[in-house]
Amino acid sequence: MTTKFQAALDRVTRVRGVRGAMLVASEDGLVVAESLMEGVRGNAVAALAASLAKRFHRASETAACGVPEFLHLQASQGSLLATPAPSGMLLVVVAEADINVGLARLEMRKAGEAVA
Amino acid sequence: MNDDIRALSAEVARDPASLAFVPLSEALRVRGQLDAATKVALAGMEHHPNLADGHDLYARILADAGDVEGAADEWSIALALDPRHAGAHKGLGFANFRQGDLDAALEHLELALAADPTDQTIVQALQTVRQIAQQAAAHPAEVPERPAVFAGLEGADHGLLLVDPQGRVLAGGLRAQSGHDVAEEVAAYLAGVSQEAERTARLLELGEWRWIMAEGERGHLHLSAPSTSALLLLARDKSVPSGRLAILAARAAEVARRWLEAQTL
Amino acid sequence: MTQTRAVEPWTLEPLQRFVAEAAARLALLTTTSGQVIAQHGFTRAVDVMSAAALGAAIAASTSEITRMLQEPAFRALSHQGQSHGIFLAHFETPRGPMLALVVYGGDSSIGLVQLFFEQFARDLAAACPTPEPAKPVLAADFERDLNESLAALFGR
């Protein structure tokens, strides 16, 4: 199981601009598996990404847009991407500000399918 | 200080375990002296932790202070101690009404009336809530009048929402696909989302957050901050590509900035 | 009107920051013997004392289990209930070992609590004044200190 998760994450981290990818338990905000560059704080990414996804989920449901299938936080020096993964997990990517989001998203979708 | 409060204070000073703390704290609460009322109530509950009236009293103080959630917790404790406590049922009726849950409000008020049929305030509250519930069922909520800031832009009154940092609607509108107005409810959530986005970007050293976009099962959302005093939400159905959302949002943000600047002059 | 109160004033600001960031509903800082140092969210002294005693007992029994297993000292326990989660942590400060008991609801998570707890422990270490030399404890002093603690914790 761990090898499968790791292989899926490693695929995502090969996209240029990705500084880290992880699987997070979305309710608890805890790390399930990670593949991170030096300097990326995995436990912080997990907790904050899960909390952000939960809050946006409530807004999205109330606006009748349904469950968010892809979340993109753009900041001045980086970005955070997240997509639901099987078994109550969230696949989270920390990336540079100018990442090719389309490509990252494609790899994230494949990674999500791989961990099912 | 009037005679009642003086006499009750003397009684509680003489005997800190006296139940006179309940009417004393209530008298202070009614006079708006919430800090003093809290101190008396908490001191009294030290001696009587299982007194339902004590928890009911403290709940009313919390409600007066604006902490409806805390008040609801205290009323729940009072009901756990005394399931037929009229005051606690009345209080939870009020709390549920404030939170928009009319069914739960009616249930608690009816239980309050069953416990104390002579309390006219409960009768009145029941009539009011029943009337509102009937009106809500007969007529869908009217959309409040809001400034037409985004007039001329696509989705001006149903897919563009300008909100202040406390989650209150400033302009625009938002409707679900069913046509139901969801602006106020969504606005309330957006403040929390933006605060979490700011914190996430800061703690993960991503710089300042610019916007968040979510692609949902049935629609897309784009949230940005056109100024430090406002949040802008753009909502579109799934047929609109997410790349186009960013362009639409940038246009709407420019309009919003001009309007906000005009408000401060 | 939920308030944060402290017997040891230097713990107040770190605890307030932690509670705000982690969205904790209740928080209790104690010594490992259950003596309360600061609290947030409790409305009754009897609840504070009960929680402090139970937290100390859980920490002591868990420490004993880890000792029997020849594992490093117990650091943290957590429990996730239906609507609330509980987090209990044992950590060192310049004033000696302490326990933190945290209760959180659906607007937080164990991940957030753990994340901000680490910062809280660092903030406490930074805020801690130089320890005073230990004084002998007399029964009268104990009674007075206990009453003063209760007064500080409940603003009376």
Binned at pLDDT 50, 70 and 90, residue B153 comes out as confident
Assess whether B130 and B169 both reside in one domain.
no
Asked if pLDDT for residue B146 goes beyond 80, the answer is no
Assess whether B173 and B255 both reside in one domain.
yes
Assess whether B7 and B86 both reside in one domain.
yes
Assess whether B24 and B128 both reside in one domain.
yes
- Tell me if chain A has a CB within 8 Å of the CB of B231: no
Binned at pLDDT 50, 70 and 90, residue C99 comes out as very high
- Tell me if chain B has a CB within 8 Å of the CB of C45: yes
Nearest C-alpha of chain B: how many angstroms from A59?
Answer: 5
Contact present, B172 and B181 (Cβ < 8 Å): no
Model-level pTM? 0.72
Closest C-alpha among B164, B155, B168, B123 to residue B240: B155
Binned at pLDDT 50, 70 and 90, residue B50 comes out as confident
- Torsion-angle region of A50 (φ positive above 0: left; ψ -120 to 50: alpha; else: beta): alpha
Q: What is the reported pLDDT for B138?
A: 66
Answer with the residue of higher pLDDT: C131 or B229: B229
Q: What is the reported pLDDT for B190?
A: 93
- Tell me if chain A has a CB within 8 Å of the CB of C153: no
Q: Do B46 and C155 touch (CB under 8 A)?
A: no
> For chain B, what percent of residues have pLDDT higher than 70?
95
Asked if pLDDT for residue B191 goes beyond 70, the answer is yes
What is the rounded distance in angstroms from the CA atom of residue B53 to the CA atom of residue B48?
Answer: 10
> Which tokens go with B251?
């246009």
Closest C-alpha among B44, B41, B133, B53 to residue B85: B53
Neighbours of chain C (3+ CB pairs under 8 A): A, B
Distances (CA, A) of B134 to A52, B106, B138, C143: 38, 12, 6, 60
Q: What is the reported pLDDT for A74?
A: 97
Instruction: Quote the DSSP letter at residue C128.
Output: P
Is B51 among the domain residues?
Answer: yes
Nearest C-alpha of chain A: how many angstroms from C115?
Answer: 6
Is B239 among the domain residues?
Answer: yes
CB contact burial C58-82 (16+ within 10 A = b; e otherwise): bbeebbeeeeeeeeeebebebeeee
Q: What is the reported pLDDT for B142?
A: 58
List residues in chain B touching C: CB distance below 8 A: 34, 38-39, 42-43, 45-46, 49, 58, 61-62, 65, 67, 70, 74, 199
Identify the helix (H) or strand (E) that includes residue C5.
Answer: strand C4-6
Q: What is the reported pLDDT for C33?
A: 93
Nearest C-alpha of chain C: how many angstroms from A25?
Answer: 9
> For chain B, what percent of residues have pLDDT higher than 90?
34
Q: What is the reported pLDDT for A75?
A: 97
Closest C-alpha among C24, C30, C26 to residue C11: C30
Q: Do A66 and B215 touch (CB under 8 A)?
A: no
Assess whether B130 and B101 both reside in one domain.
yes
Residue of C1, C46, C154 lying closest to B67 (CB–CB): C1
- Tell me if chain A has a CB within 8 Å of the CB of C109: yes
Q: What is the reported pLDDT for B31?
A: 84
What is the rounded distance in angstroms from the CA atom of residue A67 to the CA atom of residue A58?
Answer: 8
pLDDT in tens, B116-129: 888 888 888 888 88
Write down the mean pLDDT value for chain B. 86
pLDDT in tens, C28-74: 999 999 999 999 998 888 789 999 999 999 999 999 999 999 998 88
pLDDT in tens, C132-141: 666 665 666 6
What is the rounded distance in angstroms from the CA atom of residue C41 to the CA atom of residue C19?
Answer: 10
Contact present, B36 and B26 (Cβ < 8 Å): no
Q: Do B206 and A75 touch (CB under 8 A)?
A: yes
Q: Do B217 and A69 touch (CB under 8 A)?
A: yes
Amino acid at B245: L
pLDDT in tens, A58-101: 999 999 899 999 999 999 999 999 999 999 999 999 999 999 99
Is B169 among the domain residues?
Answer: yes
Assess whether B22 and B75 both reside in one domain.
yes
B257 CB-contact burial (10 Å; exposed 0-12 / middle 13-18 / buried 19+): middle
What is the rounded distance in angstroms from the CA atom of residue C125 to the CA atom of residue C95?
Answer: 9
Q: What is the reported pLDDT for A21?
A: 97
- Structural domains in chain A, CATH included, are 2-114 (3.30.450.30)
User: Chain A residue closest to C112 (CA)?
Assistant: A47
> Mean pLDDT over residues B210-235, rounded?
93
Contact present, C121 and C7 (Cβ < 8 Å): no
Contact present, C76 and C98 (Cβ < 8 Å): no
- Whether the complex's predicted ipTM surpasses the cut of 0.85: yes
What is the rounded distance in angstroms from the CA atom of residue B174 to the CA atom of residue B164?
Answer: 15
pLDDT in tens, B83-112: 889 999 999 998 888 777 788 888 899 899
Q: What is the reported pLDDT for C156?
A: 52
In total, how many domains does chain B have?
Answer: 2
Assess whether B119 and B167 both reside in one domain.
no
Is B56 among the domain residues?
Answer: yes
Contact present, B242 and B215 (Cβ < 8 Å): yes
Main-chain dihedrals φ then ψ at residue B66, nearest 5 degrees: 95, 0
List residues in chain A touching C: CB distance below 8 A: 24-25, 27-30, 43-44, 46-48, 50-51, 54
- Residue C106 CB-half CA count within 13 A: 5
Binned at pLDDT 50, 70 and 90, residue B1 comes out as low
Assess whether B196 and B93 both reside in one domain.
no
Domain of B164?
Answer: 159-263
Domain CATH number, residue B229: 3.30.450.30
Q: Do C45 and B65 touch (CB under 8 A)?
A: no
Is B146 among the domain residues?
Answer: no
Is B191 among the domain residues?
Answer: yes
Residue of B39, B42, B199 lying closest to C43 (CB–CB): B42
Q: Which residues in chain C have Cβ-Cβ distances shorter than 8 Å to A50?
A: 109, 111
Q: Do A51 and C109 touch (CB under 8 A)?
A: yes
B2 contacts: CB under 8 Å, gap ≥ 6: none
Classify A98 as helix, strand or coil: coil
Asked if pLDDT for residue B141 goes beyond 80, the answer is no
Q: What is the reported pLDDT for C72?
A: 87
Give the count of Cβ contacts less than 8 A between chain A and B. 122
Contact present, C18 and C124 (Cβ < 8 Å): no
In total, how many domains does chain C have?
Answer: 1
Asked if pLDDT for residue C145 goes beyond 70, the answer is no
Nearest C-alpha of chain A: how many angstroms from C81?
Answer: 12
Domain boundary among B87, B105, B138: B138
Residue of C1, C44, C45 lying closest to B38 (CB–CB): C1
Domain of C98?
Answer: 4-154
Closest C-alpha among A20, A1, A25 to residue A114: A1
pLDDT in tens, A14-30: 999 999 999 999 999 99
What is the rounded distance in angstroms from the CA atom of residue A42 to the CA atom of residue A56?
Answer: 21
Rg of chain A, C-alpha, whole Å: 13
- Tell me if chain A has a CB within 8 Å of the CB of C4: no
Contact present, B255 and B223 (Cβ < 8 Å): no
Assess whether B206 and B78 both reside in one domain.
no
Nearest C-alpha of chain A: how many angstroms from B192?
Answer: 7
Domain CATH number, residue B98: 1.25.40.10
Assess whether B172 and B116 both reside in one domain.
no
Give how far the C-alpha of residue A32 lies from the chain's centroid of Cα atoms, to the nearest Å: 12
Q: Which residues in chain C have Cβ-Cβ distances shorter than 8 Å to A88?
A: none
Domain CATH number, residue C9: 3.30.450.30
Nearest C-alpha of chain C: how many angstroms from B65?
Answer: 7
Q: Do A47 and C114 touch (CB under 8 A)?
A: yes
Q: Which residues in chain C have Cβ-Cβ distances shorter than 8 Å to A30?
A: 110-111, 114
Closest C-alpha among A62, A58, A64, A70 to residue A102: A70
Bridge partner residues of B232 (DSSP): B162, B224
Assess whether B177 and B132 both reside in one domain.
no
The residue whose two tokens read 């990336």 is: A95
Binned at pLDDT 50, 70 and 90, residue B176 comes out as confident
Assess whether B57 and B176 both reside in one domain.
no
Contact present, C93 and C125 (Cβ < 8 Å): yes
Is B39 among the domain residues?
Answer: yes
